[in-house]
Chains A and B, each alone.
Chain A
Amino acid sequence: MSGTARWPLAGAIALLALPLALSDFWLFIAIEVLAFALYAVSFNVLLGYGGMLSFGHAAFFGVGGYAAALLMKKTGLSAGAAFALVPLAAMVASAALAAVTGFFSVRRSGIYFAMLTFAFQMLLYTVALKATGLTGGDDGMTGLRPPGVLAKPLAYYYFALALVAPALYVLYRLVNSPFGYTLRALRANARRVQYIGVDVRAHQLAAFIITGAFAGLAGGLFALSNGNVFPGWLNWTASATPIVMAVLGGVHTFLGPALGAAVYVVLEVLISGKTEYWPLAMGIIILILVLLMPEGLTGLAKRRAA
């Protein structure tokens, strides 16, 4: 076996065996980590590879969550049928949204791109808050439950893994395809790429839609394990979450953001269990990250190894 194939295999075995070592509570957290890992990696395909800082990626995670909740609660489908449609519906809804907001957002770059994505996210937030008949407004949508045996954390963990792992693989193939290399070139120098005849906006829009769809899938998966969706998922404070995870893990590696997501989620569980001042702790963690370790955890590991 070649050296490069050994690590993914070891990772797969570890993820498959993980539930043996975890209580139901930590299994529940592991599902959250899977969802947020997909969310953070999809976000980082935009930021780390495409150089596009979206400050509204939570819109897609949130819309995926609401799509799942609406499907389960409002369509009148049987629980099994609705549930089977959740992954597809979450991805389609988020992709459709990304197509519309991306169409406008990719016309701008840098900080203006960030602000446009942010404006669209806040627009959705207010809609989720005010369309009380559909979304439950401030109370959100609660009592979501996967059907049958999937309601058990163990079964749902494998279900989530069976969706997240292929999704990550697709994204991995994507960033290593010619399309992915064009994205990297756009990050380095968009103007030069344009001069050689590449349609910059079309590439950026495609990346926006694809990553939006996967963020939606992550949101749908998390909504059903969590049991609730709240408008807070779309609020401005939520848009920083994938950025923190990506930077924490390291934006220059494919799986760094997944590591960042795991560390972030576990830290949140540990710290918010001890004190109500989790925001303060998170703020301090971000400050340390930004000021002292800009390459993230994977950067630290590489520096150690070097």
Chain B
Amino acid sequence: MIDSFLQQLAWLQNPVVVARQLLAGVSNGMLLFLICAGLSLIFGVLRIINFAHGALFMLGALIAVSLTALAPGASASFVAALIGATAGLAVLGAALETGLLRRIYRAPHEFQLLLTFALVFVLGDVAKLIWGREDHSVSVPAALDGSMRALGLTFPNYRLFLIVVGVAVAVGLWIVLHRTRWGIFVRAATMDRDMLSALGVNTRRLFTSVFAAGAALAGLGGALAAPIVAVGPGLHVQVIIDAFVVVVIGGMGSVLGALVASLLVGIVNAFGVLAFPGLAVVLTFAVMAIVLIVRPWGLFGAPE
């Protein structure tokens, strides 16, 4: 039993495999972070679990499909896709918040749950109506194609690019949250939004902007993921489950928690697939349940 398990782990001695899985894990973790940062911010400020966040991510990827199709493989069309997906989802996010979410902040939990749940189905089917039911693929832009060699190992350039973007977004978010007026409001709202409102801050506008920002991050994540995933109607389902696990483990409302837990889940998934084929998913939910039992506010969240 133990012998066969150790045999399964023989790849651990192979630095090429370890480096490849680590790179895949970290870059997937960075993509996950883009989704989870928004999901976490939205929960922290609006106190709503946005089940539709995976659908927003998928819409970002689908917008990238359409925009890159204008000039496949060209770097300019890829940049246009990144900008288009981010801006498009920001607008959609603002519209959803002002049109729907705003009405149910004072309603019981089950209504909030059902509302974002309904959006999953509505957005999912609208995406099918516009982009069809088949999977699309997006080619890696010419400038980021190929791979680089270092230390005798090969690293795909696009994976490295994802890590760079992830780090840039994490740093940028930290600066925005800690060095701007908006960031201070967001952090204050996470702690006590009634107090913030009592101090004269326009929380209505703050809520709209936070939801729009979260949606924009999901859209950016979707566009960045488009070249390495099959972009189709099933994309959002697995994404939202992973994101949910990450946000619970990291702590709802904590961007740092989202970063750490995203990398953790990304890396655990990448290695778990090799070490415990088939069981990696079971493990993630077991970890999630344990965190909820022992420390329900997550590793980096603040207790209620």
Contacts and interface: CB of A to CB of B under 8 A. Distances in A.
A291 B282 CA distance: 36
A286 B289 contact: no
A35 to B, nearest CB: 22
Interface in A92-121: 104, 107-108, 110-112, 114-116, 119-120
A142 B177 CA distance: 53
B107 A290 contact: yes
Contact of B109 (A110, A126, A246, A289): A110
A289 B278 CA distance: 39
Contact of B289 (A120, A283, A287, A289): A120
A114 B289 contact: no
B239 interface: no
A145 B180 CA distance: 65
Contacts of B126: 280
Contacts of A282: 118, 121
B300 to A, nearest CB: 16
Interface stretch (A164-172, A218-226, A236-244): A236-244
Contacts of A127: 282
B125 A280 contact: yes
Given A277-B125, A290-B104, A116 B289 contact: yes
B273 interface: no
Given A126-B282, A130-B279, A286-B117, A291 B289 contact: no
B285 interface: yes
B143 interface: no
B281 A240 contact: no
B125 to A, nearest CB: 4
Contacts of A146: none
A279 interface: yes
A280 B119 CA distance: 9
B252 to A, nearest CB: 9
Contacts of B286: 123
Interface residues of B, number: 37
Interface string A113-154: 011100110110011011000000000000000000000000
A283 B122 contact: yes
A219 B117 CA distance: 23
B130 interface: no
Given A53-B110, A119-B285, A240-B114, A287 B293 contact: no
A130 to B, nearest CB: 5
A112 B124 contact: no
A244 B107 contact: no
Contacts of B128: 277
A279 B125 contact: yes
A122 B124 CA distance: 21
Given A119-B285, A130-B278, A290 B115 contact: yes
A299 interface: no
Interface in A270-292: 277, 279-280, 282-284, 286-287, 289-291
Given A116-B293, A126-B281, A126-B282, A279 B121 contact: yes
A240 B117 contact: yes
B296 interface: yes
Contact of B120 (A108, A123, A283): A283
A294 B109 CA distance: 12
Interface in B259-301: 278-279, 281-282, 285-286, 288-289, 292-293, 296
A86 interface: no
Nearest to B279: A130
> B103, B119, B285: which has the most chain A beta carbons within 10 Å?
B285
A290 B114 contact: yes
A250 B236 CA distance: 31
A68 interface: no
A55 interface: yes
B114 A247 contact: yes
B293 A107 contact: yes
B16 interface: no
A283 B278 contact: no
Contacts of B118: 282-284, 286-287, 290
Contacts of B111: 247, 290, 294
A243 B282 CA distance: 25
A291 to B, nearest CB: 6
Interface in B178-220: none
Interface of A: 47, 53, 55, 104, 107-108, 110-112, 114-116, 119-120, 122-123, 126-127, 129-130, 236-237, 240, 243-244, 246-247, 251, 277, 279-280, 282-284, 286-287, 289-291, 294
9 contacts: A47-B110, A53-B113, A107-B293, A111-B47, A123-B286, A130-B278, A130-B282, A247-B111, A287-B122
Interface of B: 47, 49, 100, 103-104, 107-111, 113-115, 117-122, 124-126, 128-129, 241, 248, 278-279, 281-282, 285-286, 288-289, 292-293, 296
Given A104-B292, A279-B121, 10 more contacts: A53-B113, A111-B47, A112-B296, A122-B241, A129-B281, A237-B120, A279-B125, A283-B122, A289-B114, A290-B111
Q: Which 4 A-B pairs have the closest CB atoms?
A: A280-B125, A283-B121, A286-B118, A283-B122
